[in-house]
Structure 1
Amino acid sequence: MLIPLTRQKFEQLIPILATGPQYAYYWGKFPVFLRRLLISVVAVCIVVFILGKFILGEGLLTFFLGVIAGLYWLWAPVYWASLRNIACRKLPYSGFWRGEVIDLFITEELIGEEQTVNNRGQLVIIENRERRLNIEVGDETGFSTQLQVPLKRTHKAIAPGQMAEMIVMSNRPDLSSITKVSDIYIPNQDLWVSDYPYLRKDAFADVSRQLEYGDDPEYPRKRSTKSRRRRSY
């Protein structure tokens, strides 16, 4: 099932500014935070000791630029997440897609390399690998797409045949060619499968409810019954 969305509804699902989960995604782990903090320190030094002395002078502009540079570690996650959201919002058309899980498999992916020296003084390259879940979803029209995400324990609940929902984005008004897809939601398990959390979960749940049941006040009870009875659309 593929239903086009209005531009207003799409912009509610993917806002311009970073949401809380998106900010947390780009906040990263402690080494990532240290890297941002180091960039902040270097940026402050450049503003104060180079721009402030030789170009801008010691004034309010230098002060404000120094504050902005010094707080890079804090506002950078908002900036990078917002850029990613804007890239999605540049696509003019979108739709709500519902299908099913076709296949699941796990792979080990190289995410980085580290260089170190062993006891003999030899240079050794250590590969950092991460186990990832590859999930393929599709529908009766023949459309299918695959998403790769870091493996989590909650992914054990996912199985082929389960219903899957997501937002698809396109440059074509008829959505005949899909350019980008969002997170995948497994409603039977109330489980999100994603690397970067594109969607506002509350807004997505509202869209799913409206398309399934309209304004029916009995929605919560019916959804629970249907999820047990039907595996796919």
Structure 2
Amino acid sequence: MLLPLKPGELSRLIPAVATGPQFAASSGNPRKLLQRLLISLIGGVISLLVAQSLFSSRFGPVWLVAGFVFLLYILWGPILEAGRRNATLRRYPVAALFEGEVGDLYTREVVEQRREQAGNEGRLELVENKRTWLCLELEDEEGYLGQVRFPMEKKHQTIRRGMVVRALVLSERKDFSRIGAISDAWLPQPKLWVGEYPYLLRPAFEEICLRRLR
């Protein structure tokens, strides 16, 4: 079942500015955090040194501002990335509240990182870090709708076929004949939120579900 959203509801459910959970999700793994920290420190230190050497020049304040911008990159980097990800869903002209069920679920191994390291004989070997992801196929009375995928955790072992699932569906077409994107999903029976990225403002989404799906 698809219930089209009313004007203004999409911007209420998917904010333009990053929320706390979105900031955390966009911060990335330890390797990505380290990369941001290095960029922040190196860029900040170099810019401040240049600003100091050009202190009496008219370009000194510009480099000083650039230095502080670099130093704060570790903070505004995830905010910028979260805003960009939110914008990919906010750009769709039509959105609808979906209620259906988990038609099928299965796991798959996803390579999250590749790196080369020296083996016992001194040769470089390709090492892959894999993680188990859970894939949920969503369907309703009209059939298959789409899929939601996310890294599997212990709490997800309670998910079963046939469970009610709710999500936001976005499309370029008013008749939703072609689905453009699906947000993270809410399973009310086990009270679980699932998805690769927390697009939705969850309390607001749950409130709309209670109001629209009575």
Q: TM-score, normalised by structure 2?
A: 0.92
User: Larger strand proportion, structure 1 or 2?
Assistant: 2
Q: Check the 8 A contact 1:52/1:58 in 2, yes or no.
A: no
The alignment partner of 2:112 has SS state of strand
Amino acid paired to 1:3: L
Q: Check the 8 A contact 1:22/1:197 in 2, yes or no.
A: yes
> Aligned residue for 1:43?
43
Q: Unpaired segments of 5 or more residues in structure 1?
A: 214-233
Amino acid paired to 2:204: A
List aligned pairs for 1:44-63, cutoff 5 A: 44-48=44-48, 57-63=58-64
List aligned pairs for 1:18-29, cutoff 5 A: 18-29=18-29
The alignment partner of 1:64 has SS state of helix
The CA distance in 2 between the partners of 1:59 and 1:126, in whole Å, is 46
Q: Check the 8 A contact 2:97/2:168 in 1, yes or no.
A: yes
Q: Check the 8 A contact 2:51/2:61 in 1, yes or no.
A: no
> Aligned residue for 2:199?
198
> Aligned residue for 2:123?
122
List aligned pairs for 1:79-98, cutoff 5 A: 79-98=80-99
Amino acid paired to 2:118: V
> Aligned residue for 1:10?
10
The CA distance in 1 between the partners of 2:179 and 2:145, in whole Å, is 10
> Aligned residue for 1:211?
212
Q: Unpaired segments of 5 or more residues in structure 2?
A: none
Amino acid paired to 1:107: R
The alignment partner of 2:67 has SS state of helix
Q: Check the 8 A contact 2:51/2:60 in 1, yes or no.
A: no
Amino acid paired to 1:103: D
> Aligned residue for 1:144?
145
The alignment partner of 1:182 has SS state of strand
The CA distance in 1 between the partners of 2:123 and 2:29, in whole Å, is 30
Instruction: Quote the sequence identity (%).
Output: 34
The alignment partner of 1:7 has SS state of coil
The alignment partner of 1:77 has SS state of helix
The CA distance in 2 between the partners of 1:7 and 1:176, in whole Å, is 20
Q: Deviations over 1:160-189 (max 9, x none)?
A: 111110000011122222100001111111
- Cα shift at 1:50: 5.8
Q: Deviations over 1:34-93 (max 9, x none)?
A: 110101123224534568868x85532221121111110111111100011011111111
The number of residues matched between the two structures is 212
Amino acid paired to 2:85: R
The CA distance in 2 between the partners of 1:71 and 1:92, in whole Å, is 34
Q: Check the 8 A contact 1:101/1:163 in 2, yes or no.
A: yes
Q: Deviations over 1:137-175 (max 9, x none)?
A: 101112321122101111111101111100000111222
- Cα shift at 1:113: 1.1
The CA distance in 2 between the partners of 1:103 and 1:173, in whole Å, is 27
Give the aligned CA root-mean-square deviation in angstroms: 1.8
